[in-house]
Structure 1
Amino acid sequence: MDTEGARGIAPPEDLGWSADDFNMEVVVVPGSTDQQNSAHVDLAFHQHETEKAPDLTSPKDDVTLSNGIAGDHDNDGNTMTSCCYALFAWLAPLKAALRHHRPFVGRWGSRLFFVLYVLYSGFALYRQWGTEAATRLLLLLVIVLWVSLGRRVSPQLLKRLGPVVTLQPEKGRTLRTVVRWILYVVAAGGGVAYLALEVAPKKPSNLLTLGGIALLLLVGLLLSTHPHRVNWHTVFWALAIQFYLAVFLIRTQQGKDLFQWLGGLMEKFISYTDIGSKFLFGDAYTMHPVVFQMLPVILFMNCVIAVAYQLGIIQALIATLGRFLSFCLGTTPIESVNAAANVFLGLAEAPLLVKPFLKDVTESELFAIMTGGFASIAGAIMGALVAIGIPSNHILAASVMSAPAALGVAKIMCPETEGDNSSTTKDAYKVNLGTSTNLLEAVSQAAVMGVSIMVTVSANVFIFMIFLTFADNVFQWFGEQVGIHDFPFTRLLSYVFYPLMYLCGVDAADLLTLGRLVSVKILTSTIFSYQQVAALIDNSATLSNYTKATNGSWHYQGDDLVLHDWNVTLTGGVLTERSVVMSTYILCGFSNISSIGICIGSMTSIAPSRTKHILKHVVMAGVAGNIACFLTGCVAGLLYI
């Protein structure tokens, strides 16, 4: 820095002061350039001590007195500034060292946190063992261990066990074939024995759903691009995983308690959105549950998933579940990871995890990727459905069960025909962390995206409700002209899926209602159909209270139920508990007309080189998604008593 230039600054001569009346202090920041230091030059003007006391009557001296007072304050400020610069200069090497060794510090910091958390969990479990709090602590500990160690342990374990079950050409072909057939017999025999001993004696009508499963597989085979190339190993284990998972969740007390507990935690967690709704909209927010309760849950859950993704929790779950599906079904890592991702992410977000591989995947893999999106719902939407009254334990189970179903149906309708050209890269398991700089940025970006989802959902529900009501009135008007009364458009839709609902094992009283809900889902949106299910659940509760309070009578008027003593009409009727459960599984998927447009837009933007193949298969992938949802509903109906 040019200090002489600084000393050459002229003092204000017009006030009668000379340069000798001032001392100039220059603060130089170590390590800075001359240009930077010139910005930090602090000039402190002090009168000489030999100067006589000023005459207060003189304007000049008055100005000099004021300048002296200001100079004292400037001197104090310069001292503080110098201290700050000295502190920053001392911290600069430390900051540079931390930046240089950031990977090392981050790695050992994470290990230290991991050790401390394990110690804390052990002590807390010791104190709280046997309580509900201990269960939560144990679940969190398992998740932490899974995220931290699962990526290292599971690949090695599956590498050792994989050749025994999968179709990989390894040594010991005869042994592998024997073991595989033993597993086939054990899995199939166990299922048949369970149905014969547990289901048939208690509710033989449930076995009717076996006909529904056979019909769905037959339809998929008839629509298959290459029916003679279907890999029945994948189809068998997809059904087996669904069946035994449903046995655990629906028939065993441990499974019921586990998912009931998880569902309760989810409901409790989602209820925190009411705090924000109450703060923004006041106590009257409950009067508008869709806008002020359901839609805010979408925003909240989207941010939660973004945080979990940024921390690597979602990636660990997806990679582990993807390895499990690939191990059991013999599917490739890419389509397995995508199917696992659809449990948590939506139709447009899940393919982003395998974006680098989409340009090279086979048509069968591309079909499976699209089918997985149509056969499942996003985690944020799941939270919104729970908020409006859909059973949380069953919506969770349906989301998990849809993953193997989607892969199984996809491999029937579009089997692999390219052999060794299929993508089997293990890099698909290495799901990258979030792209946000930190958690704050991740939450902020997710909030903006969540608002977009909220607007899209509300706009779709709004417009579909208008058009569906309009179509109902138009059909009723045309029917009345020829003497047919109470025959709306939704009643016509009910008859379209009536036979399929019968084969799925739906209660006879609810066949038309479930047929209508499925039609509404396919033509409009999944959320709109679930809203109608929620309304029917409320109607069922009202009817139960009515019979307990009055033991009064009622009658159906079209699809509506009229309560005589209360003079109340329950629009749409009611659903039995079994039908509520089955509707939760059957409707659990984005397989509708509007989602086909979303899939085309998202997939062609992610993989523009595959536009031709995407447009070729997207409609049939939507059909496959619906078949997978029906298949999940059939399995649930088979075991629900």
Structure 2
Amino acid sequence: MMTTLLQPLLGLSVLTASAWLLSENRRAVRPRLIVAGLALQFLLALALLKLPPVKALFLSLNGLVLAVQQATQAGTELVFGYLGGAAAPFETLYPHNSFVLAFRALPLILVISALSALLFHWRILPLLVRGFAWLLRRTLGTGGPLGLGAAANVFVGMTEAPLLIRPYLAGMTRPALFGLMTCGMATIAGTVMVLYASLIGSVVPDAMGHILIASIISAPAALMIAGILIPETQEARDETPVRIESQSRSAMDAITRGTLEAIPLWLNILAMLVVMVALVSLVNQLLGLLPMIAGEPLTAQRLLGWIMAPVVWLIGIPWHEAPTAGALMGIKTVLNELVAYLELARLPTETLSERSRLIMTYALCGFANLGSLGIMIGGLGAMAPKRRDEIVAMGLKSILAGTMATLMTGAVVGILI
């Protein structure tokens, strides 16, 4: 018990110290930011994971996920027939192979995007965002636009969140802009939360609640790491409150906009999955030409597992499980979190304990990868063209910061569970 507690505590210390050592200006790092950042992560995790009423609320989200899945399947059955889950017009010899990811799981993105747009139009989502932004402002001293952008990243994507503060992007300080980028890398969009929960629901109980909690806890972790790596040298100004306005004229218009805006995302995920899995297969075929190690062929997953094993050990994974968990973290960083979650769902139950699966669910919950960097540079660069060079220059560092933030979230959960 003591080892499982000390291990992630050591991980938090190492991650924080590493960020400080890599800081551009160590003297400018505010002790308040570190203390408040760590405290807020623990307080949020305690409240969301341990308080019975709050925990019950988040666990009930899994029932909502099942309802949305059933509703989505009704649509996919009508449009795609047996490929979308309807009864096949012929006898299936291998029914366990009848699940078609593109037509069964990924259409969830369309439904969730439509529902998110509707909640935004009804001003439910903006209310949640403002509440979380106020909390970040009071605890971490985060400026108005950055606090709002960070809070929005918990619920929407890395390109949608900056749209809420678009008029302020040109005037944000460099550290604030980096903080916004890091929050985008350390969290995931609401449009894919339900998808990921559905993918790992069979191996991680109450997956939706955990994924949402992970995104919430990672926001203060991201602001803390970003503030250490590129510290703010001036006090955050009391800017005029940012208004959050919906562009939809009616509820039906919101649903239509949300659905149409999700189509490119759906197609992008399909294309990226095909290419990424194909590239991994090609690399594994090349590595297979090398001599076997320990009686098994060399693969990209094994290499990544060895490289990342010490890192995931620091957040609470037992050493004998660290290579497997490290491979997941490597896949997430090099490819993306969707492929990593698919791998997590496919792992035999004996390879990772229930506790390790839960820790990795949190550690994998972020957009920090090279593919996301391209999306972020394109989106933020279009919104603030004069800051494009700065955004590009801080890109790789934002991946590092986002990865460190999600690892901290995994370590915090490793201490509490």
Q: Give yes or no for TM over 0.5.
A: yes
Match of 1:425 among 239, 247, 251: 239
Match of 1:594 among 330, 346, 371: 371
Alignment partners' CA distance in 2, 1:328 and 1:371:
18
Residue 225 of structure 1 deviates from its aligned partner by: 1.2
Distance 1:255 1:444, change over 3 A: closer
SS of match in other structure, 2:288: helix
SS of match in other structure, 2:232: coil
Match of 2:413 in 1: 636
Q: Looking at CA atoms only, which structure, 1 or 2, has the larger radius of gyration?
A: 1
CA contact (8 A) 1:588 1:629 kept: yes
One-letter identity of the residue aligned with 1:414: I
CA contact (8 A) 2:312 2:326 kept: yes
Residue 396 of structure 1 deviates from its aligned partner by: 1.5
Alignment partners' CA distance in 1, 2:399 and 2:237:
23
The question of 1:314 aligning with 2:91 is answered no
TM-score (norm 1): 0.60
Match of 1:472 in 2: 284
Alignment partners' CA distance in 2, 1:489 and 1:528:
13
Distance 1:203 1:476, change over 3 A: same
Distance 1:518 1:296, change over 3 A: same
One-letter identity of the residue aligned with 2:261: M
Higher relative contact order (CA 8 A, sep 6+): 2
One-letter identity of the residue aligned with 2:365: C
Give % identity.
31
CA contact (8 A) 2:4 2:414 kept: no
The question of 1:457 aligning with 2:269 is answered yes
One-letter identity of the residue aligned with 1:582: I
Alignment partners' CA distance in 1, 2:220 and 2:352:
28
Match of 2:40 among 241, 251, 254: 241
Equivalent residues in 2 for 1:603-614, closer than 5 Å: 603-614=380-391
Distance 1:483 1:395, change over 3 A: closer
Match of 2:137 in 1: 326
Equivalent residues in 2 for 1:224-623, closer than 5 Å: 224-286=23-85, 287-390=98-201, 391-417=207-233, 419=234, 422-428=236-242, 430-431=243-244, 433-480=245-292, 485-536=296-347, 539-540=348-349, 574-623=351-400
One-letter identity of the residue aligned with 1:495: W
What count of residue pairs does the alignment treat as equivalent?
Answer: 400
CA contact (8 A) 1:208 1:503 kept: yes
**Partner deviation per Cα, 1:426-456 (whole Å, 9 max, x = no partner):** 322x22x211222222222221211111100
CA contact (8 A) 1:297 1:387 kept: no
Residue 267 of structure 1 deviates from its aligned partner by: 3.0
Distance 1:484 1:478, change over 3 A: farther
One-letter identity of the residue aligned with 2:38: L
Alignment partners' CA distance in 2, 1:256 and 1:346:
25
Alignment partners' CA distance in 2, 1:511 and 1:282:
42
CA contact (8 A) 1:262 1:393 kept: yes
Alignment partners' CA distance in 2, 1:235 and 1:365:
16
Distance 1:258 1:313, change over 3 A: closer
Equivalent residues in 2 for 1:145-156, closer than 5 Å: none
SS of match in other structure, 2:46: helix
One-letter identity of the residue aligned with 1:577: E
Residue 490 of structure 1 deviates from its aligned partner by: 1.5
**Partner deviation per Cα, 1:332-378 (whole Å, 9 max, x = no partner):** 11111111101111011111111000111100100001001000000
Distance 1:483 1:376, change over 3 A: closer
Alignment partners' CA distance in 1, 2:128 and 2:175:
24
One-letter identity of the residue aligned with 2:224: G
Distance 1:325 1:449, change over 3 A: same
Alignment partners' CA distance in 1, 2:161 and 2:195:
19
Alignment partners' CA distance in 2, 1:290 and 1:438:
33
Residue 264 of structure 1 deviates from its aligned partner by: 2.3
Alignment partners' CA distance in 2, 1:508 and 1:372:
30
Residue 509 of structure 1 deviates from its aligned partner by: 3.3
CA contact (8 A) 2:83 2:104 kept: no
Alignment partners' CA distance in 2, 1:249 and 1:507:
25
Long gaps (5+) in structure 2: 86-97, 202-206
Alignment partners' CA distance in 1, 2:55 and 2:129:
24
Match of 1:216 among 15, 26, 31: 15
One-letter identity of the residue aligned with 1:356: P
Alignment partners' CA distance in 2, 1:343 and 1:227:
28
Residue 511 of structure 1 deviates from its aligned partner by: 0.7
One-letter identity of the residue aligned with 2:79: L
Residue 415 of structure 1 deviates from its aligned partner by: 0.7
**Partner deviation per Cα, 1:530-552 (whole Å, 9 max, x = no partner):** 1111222xx32xxxxxxxxxxxx
CA contact (8 A) 2:11 2:314 kept: yes
One-letter identity of the residue aligned with 2:44: L
Residue 315 of structure 1 deviates from its aligned partner by: 1.3
One-letter identity of the residue aligned with 2:314: L
CA contact (8 A) 1:334 1:423 kept: no
Residue 478 of structure 1 deviates from its aligned partner by: 1.9
One-letter identity of the residue aligned with 1:371: T
CA contact (8 A) 1:248 1:254 kept: no
Residue 289 of structure 1 deviates from its aligned partner by: 4.1
Residue 218 of structure 1 deviates from its aligned partner by: 1.2
TM-score (norm 2): 0.92
CA contact (8 A) 2:121 2:246 kept: yes
One-letter identity of the residue aligned with 1:445: R
Match of 2:95 in 1: none
Alignment partners' CA distance in 2, 1:285 and 1:309:
29
